[in-house]
Structure 1
Amino acid sequence: MDRRQAFYKLFVCIGLIYILYALITNLVVDPDSEMFLSQKAGLEHELKPRIWLTVMHIHVGAACIAMASGLINFSNLIYERHRRLHRVNGYVYVASVLMAVLTSGYMAPYATGGKINSIGFNVLNLLWLFVTATALVHILKKRILQHRRWMIRSYVFCFTNLLIHLLTYLFHRMIGFDYLTSYTLGLYGSIVLILIAPEVLFRVERQIGPPGL
């Protein structure tokens, strides 16, 4: 096993663990999101819990599908031996991203922390749509390398929620900021990391080769 195979398998493990975590947390441990809703403050719009909860579950499902389909399509084995599956699964990814963005757009006005965080989530949604659409345009024009790079940029957005909660925990529990401030820092810190991480990966690839199996 070379380094790029090991990198891809580590990548798959992290993705699968996070998908299971998201599904178990939202469907089994706290299906009504009572803990998360109890932390919401500074809202400018009246939240209707049942509608919000339904949209949130659709959002989680779409994000998990996007993450899973991305893991499949980053496999060199799938790309080389099952081109049609790669192509169809790519459209599944794009549709899942669109659904995740639309549902996030509905939830953005109810973001914890109020307007400043609503703006942050809308920025994330627009960026995710832009990079995904750019990746789609490149593959339609047969620009394989550019397509792959923009797909990596798009795929990193699947980890938005994970990054937000990790950074919020860091600022709130370890540094001692209040929860709302920590959440805002976590959101905007995640935007920065999402934009930087792919560029760091591209530099690493020059040393170990592209991730894949």
Structure 2
Amino acid sequence: MTASTRIRPPLVGLGLVTVAFLAYALPPYLGLDPARSRVPTRADTWFHYPLLVTHILLGTVVLVTAVLQLWPWLRRQHPRVHRWSGRIYVSAAIPAGLAALVVAPLGAFGLNQRAANTMLALLWLGTTVTGYVMARRRRYPQHREWMVRSFALCFSIVVNRLWTTVCTIAFVPDPSDTAALEQAIGVGTWLSWVVNLLIAEWWLQHTRHRRTKHRVPPREMAAAA
């Protein structure tokens, strides 16, 4: 495998983590049995479980296509595949985000978690739609940056379990303390996407600086010509 086709270790790690997460999170919803749901369902709201399943199944498509979108070699060597996987990503992300926007206020772990998930859904929809519009207008640098933000928000679900576990261990000494548990889960939910978004912004700033540093000044380009 040449340097141009080599899959970088971070992308390999992201792919493996995504596969492991889906293998854990997806199976309980394939049988469409509310009793197996890992998320507490609202028996008093008939549309809660159907929209939850819609969000999870479409989210699976989103995660898989997002990994493909982040592969630089695929983007450079097979732009048609990149474009189609991007279209699939957007086509799945928008209804998945809308479903999340309806389900988020019905969360079982208090106002803090509901607010975090609602804001996540709004930002995910906003960044995804903006990224798509930038592509349609052929403003590809802006398209790339908005989609990086969309991917960062999308992958918050993968790290959510980690953050909620850490916050529960740190802030809930008594497992029977329901109020403390709700707050810990809420804080973990905020961290799961805020930290991702901050990392994405840092990476975007870093790559902008690197491109600017290596850019040839117009005067030198003219001299070279």
TM-score range, shorter chain: 0.7 to 0.9
Instruction: Tell me the percent identity.
Output: 23
**Max Rg structure:** 2
**Aligned 8 A contact 2:29 2:36 in 1:** yes
Deviation at 1:35, TM superposition (A): 5.3
Q: Once the two structures are superposed, what CA deviation does each residue of 1:25-64 show, in whole Å capped at 9, x if it has no partner?
A: 5447x86345532xx8xxxxx6436632222111111111
Q: Distance in 1 between matches of 2:97 and 2:170?
A: 31
One of 98, 117, 120 as aligned partner of 1:102? 98
* Residue in structure 2 matched with residue 192 of structure 1 by the alignment: 194
Could you tell me which amino acid in structure 2 is paired with residue 190 of structure 1?
A: S
2:181 corresponds in structure 1 to: 179
Distance 1:175 1:69, change over 3 A: same
Counterpart selection for 1:144 from 140, 148, 159: 140
Instruction: Measure how far apart 1:162 and its partner are.
Output: 2.9
Equivalent positions of 1:1-213 (< 5 A) are 5-27=8-30, 32-33=35-36, 36-37=39-40, 47-48=43-44, 51-176=47-172, 178-202=180-204
Q: 2:112 touches 2:187 (CA, 8 Å); kept in 1? A: no
Structural RMSD (CA) = 3.0
SS of residue matched to 1:36: coil
List alignment gaps of at least 5 residues for structure 1.
Answer: 41-45
Name the amino acid aligned to 2:13: L
Task: Give the structure 2 partner of residue 43 of structure 1.
Answer: none
CA distance in 1, matches of 2:37, 2:63: 25
Contact 1:167/1:182 (8 A) holds in 2: no
- Provide the C-alpha distance between the structure 2 equivalents of 1:98 and 1:26, rounded to a whole number of angstroms: 20
Larger mean CA deviation between 59-68 and 86-95 belongs to 86-95
Taking structure 2 as the reference length, the TM-score comes to: 0.75
Give me the whole-angstrom Cα distance separating, in 1, the residues matched to 2:158 and 2:208.
27
Normalised by the size of structure 1, how large is the TM-score? Answer: 0.79
For 2:26, what is the secondary structure of its paired residue?
A: helix
For this pair of structures, how many residues does the alignment match?
Answer: 201
Q: Which amino acid aligns with 2:8?
A: Q
Q: Is the 8 A contact 2:110 2:183 kept in 1?
A: no
Contact 1:117 1:187 in 2 (8 A): yes
| Residues 5-42 of structure 1 deviation map (CA, whole Å, 9 limit, x = unaligned) | 222222222222222222135447x86345532xx8xx
Change (3 A) 1:126 1:35: closer
More RCO (CA 8 Å, sep 6+): 1
Runs of 4+ in 1 over 4 A off after TM superposition: 1-4, 203-209
